[in-house]
A and B are shown apart, each in its own frame.
Chain A
Amino acid sequence: MTALLDIRNLTVEFDTPGGTVQAVNGLSYRVEEGETLGIVGESGSGKSVHILALLGLLPTPPARIVSGEAWFNGQNLMTLSDRALREIRGGQIGMVFQDPMSSLNPVLTVGRQLREVLQRHTGLRGHALKARMVELLDIVGIPHPEARLSQYPHEFSGGMRQRVLIAIGMACNPRLLIADEATTALDVTVQAQILDLVRKLKADFGTTVIWVTHDMGVVAELADTVQVMYGGRIMERGPVRAVFHDPRSAYTWGLLKSLPTEGARTQKRLYQIPGSPPNMANMPAGDPFAPRNPFATERCHTEVPPLRNVDGSQDHQFAAWYDLPALLAREAADAEASS
């Protein structure tokens, strides 16, 4: 497998009245061709910002891309001209945004908005163009696609609008589809339908997908690889199964523990990660998660842990100074002894 997207040492800052905010801190990762990467993190973890930076969609100023490269298909996205980036956006990289209610222009018909991306990036016109538009709506499971093309966004339900957005994102057969919180605004049943749809599209077209979300459940459903971000850094990254069964970062552990488990009959309160996200303008010196971490050691507060491999694993990486499995085992033993 070859890397379709290779991000190296990406750092993004924002100049705000309260000082310089480090939104993304030396981020490096690779996405392989055909892979589905789930990026998880809470607000301010830099997950959305680095995606926007990648596509040149961040307003500069206030944003500033301090350093970094992003190799996509042999081109460094960070040094491309605006014109060349516009060629890639919507063409080779498709994008689906968070809010299906406001991501479509309310005064233009759905067909007009779908046509725009096709005309921009493909040579289709006339009957072939129309046929492709109908085909796309059909692929994403919208009934009566022909009639739907001449309707306005307000005549679509939330789930249908999200389908339209996916159709727009997929319109030019992109090699990479990036979805930023694409199911967050939808209710659970619709969310499940959309996830099914994306899985089916992946199977049919082999598209590489980056799915940005804060929902661990969605990642478990969809992704091959999960990447947990906090404070603009990667805390842990690896195959979904490995990360979910054997979390090495206390942050991942906290996120997993705060999920409601199916069939749990006990009236136990859900776990809650203590504290609140860090003030980005004034980041802690060491591990950004240290102030909220019950397992934090002396060293966590002073020194940033590097991302390193889990012993005996090729692809499971984490950034922590402590040994989480050992700490959890000791805690369990203590609980046993005291009861």
Chain B
Amino acid sequence: MKHFLTDLYRSKAGLVGAVLIMVIVLVSLLAPVLDLPDPTRGDLRARLVGPTWTGLFTPGAHPLGTDEVGRDILSRLINGSRITLLVATTAVVLGGIVGTILGILAGYKGGLVDRILMRLVDIQLAVPLMLLALLVVAALGPSLRNVVLVLALTSWIRYARIIRAQVLSLREREFVQSAHAIGASTLRIMFLHILPNVLTPALVVGTLELARVIIMDSALSFLGLGVQPPTPSWGRMLADGRVYISSAWWAVTFPGLAIVLTVLSVNLFGDWLRDYFDPKTRSAK
């Protein structure tokens, strides 16, 4: 753990990513105690008020301005981050668990299991992910749970592919034969000997997927198929504010910035994480 922190401190990009993630998570966790205005209550007398520097210090003011029905943008951003982060992490973890297990199964068992699973992946890759997501949400109806399910569904194939490729090479290594030679069962070898070896690639895919899923979640919300209003979500804010881009730039700029910052920080941190867990680059330091 100590090494983890000192190594992180030495990597500027990784440190920036980690700090940003921590700030974002902290702010979204602390939202209920931050004394923010109600994110769903509009004030038609204060529609599209611009951002002010002094707004931060005067109670009742809107530091990042208001949207077209007079709701406080800062409050909506922070409350929206709770939804976005919840949806994205659950989807990525869910897809990661399913994808990793199926990837190990396909790679280690080979044969029919492998062929069926990989054709399934191929078929799903042939359909544009967005179209798939649209279809599922349209069929099941938009709700928090369905959005998570859909995003996990688009995510597992990436894990499965990469993990399977790793397992294909791992299972030929001698330690697998050694494990057989001490009488370990196939199940034991798959999940006690192979799994720890693929956790690093799974983690890396996870950070990349997190960034992708955040964008996809925003896109779904943008299209009106994500979390339903009045619950605030970044994609939805972007969609609503887009109309006023020429007259009230703040309505789209801040949610857009929030998405960019979150995705960027996750990517920076993920990049560093990959280097950290790769024994080759780690031993060079």
A residues contacting B by CB (< 8 A) are: 55, 57, 86-91, 95, 97-99, 102-108, 116-117, 120-121, 154, 165, 168
Contact = CB atoms under 8 A, between A and B. Distances in A.
A312 to B, nearest CB: 41
A89 B196 contact: no
Given A105-B196, A154-B279, A117 B174 contact: no
A97 B183 contact: no
A108 B196 contact: yes
A91 B183 CA distance: 8
Contacts of A88: 183
Given A97-B181, A104-B178, A121-B183, 7 more contacts: A57-B180, A57-B181, A90-B184, A108-B196, A117-B182, A120-B183, A121-B182
Contacts, number: 65
Nearest to B199: A107
Contacts of A154: 279, 283
B197 interface: yes
B105 to A, nearest CB: 17
- Secondary structure at the B interface, as helix, strand, loop or mixed, is helix
B175 A105 contact: yes
A176 B179 CA distance: 17
A102 B170 CA distance: 10
Contacts of A95: 178, 181-182
Contacts of B173: 102
Interface string B128-150: 00000000000000000000000
A105 B198 CA distance: 12
| Number of chain B interface residues as a range | 10 to 19
A95 to B, nearest CB: 4
A165 B178 contact: yes
Contacts of A107: 196-197, 199
12 contacts: A57-B180, A89-B183, A90-B182, A91-B183, A103-B174, A105-B175, A105-B197, A106-B197, A116-B179, A120-B182, A121-B182, A168-B182
B58 interface: no
Contacts of B180: 57, 89
Given A106-B279, A108-B193, A154-B279, A86 B174 contact: no
Nearest to B279: A154
B185 interface: yes
B52 interface: no
Contact of A97 (B178, B184, B192, B283): B178
A208 to B, nearest CB: 17
A154 B192 CA distance: 19
Nearest to B277: A107
A69 B212 CA distance: 58
